[in-house]
Amino acid sequence: MGMRGPLPRGSTKPAPPASDPLASPPWLPAPAVEVWHEVEPRLRAAGRLRPEHGDALAAWCCTAAELRVLSATIARDGSTATGPHGTHPSAAHSAAVRLRATLLSLGKALTLDPTSAARLEAAGGPADDPADAVAIYAAKRDRPSAEPVRPFKPGATVLDVVHGEAS
């Protein structure tokens, strides 16, 4: 069902313990490293950060740092520009709109928005052991059916099976 529908029922599981700090990638520009150091400890403390999230977090930090620069430019110069065809949104404003959409998209992947965070917490969070989920599914799948297995006659139709004439 994906992201549609109501949130899952709440879980009573305790928050997972904080993991080891995740180092910022060496290719991350300095403004994005500042954002990394602001966000990484909070995500780690909430149990939402694993090593495989490093690239997504780095992309989010780059986007957030670029958006900060563009916001300062818009505050200084304004969000409109005047050209030969009249007034139109400035290049900084157009870029900021695109960056905000990217930031929101990456934030959902990292559960930085309230809805994604609520879904993660209601589902039990990242502390769930996937091996247990697989074992539970396998146990359900392998249990014997309450209905007896009837032999099937080749060439029988669905109606034959329903009426008991497929044997």
Q: Which residues of 115-152 are buried (b: 16+ CB within 10 A; e: fewer)?
A: ebbeebbeebbeeeeeeeeeeeeeeeeeeeeeeeeeee
Instruction: Indicate whether this model's pTM tops 0.75.
Output: no
pLDDT tens digits for the chain (167 residues)?
456 666 656 554 545 555 688 899 999 999 999 999 999 998 888 888 888 888 999 999 999 999 999 999 999 999 998 889 899 999 999 999 999 999 999 888 888 877 777 776 666 544 455 566 677 777 777 666 666 666 667 777 878 777 777 66
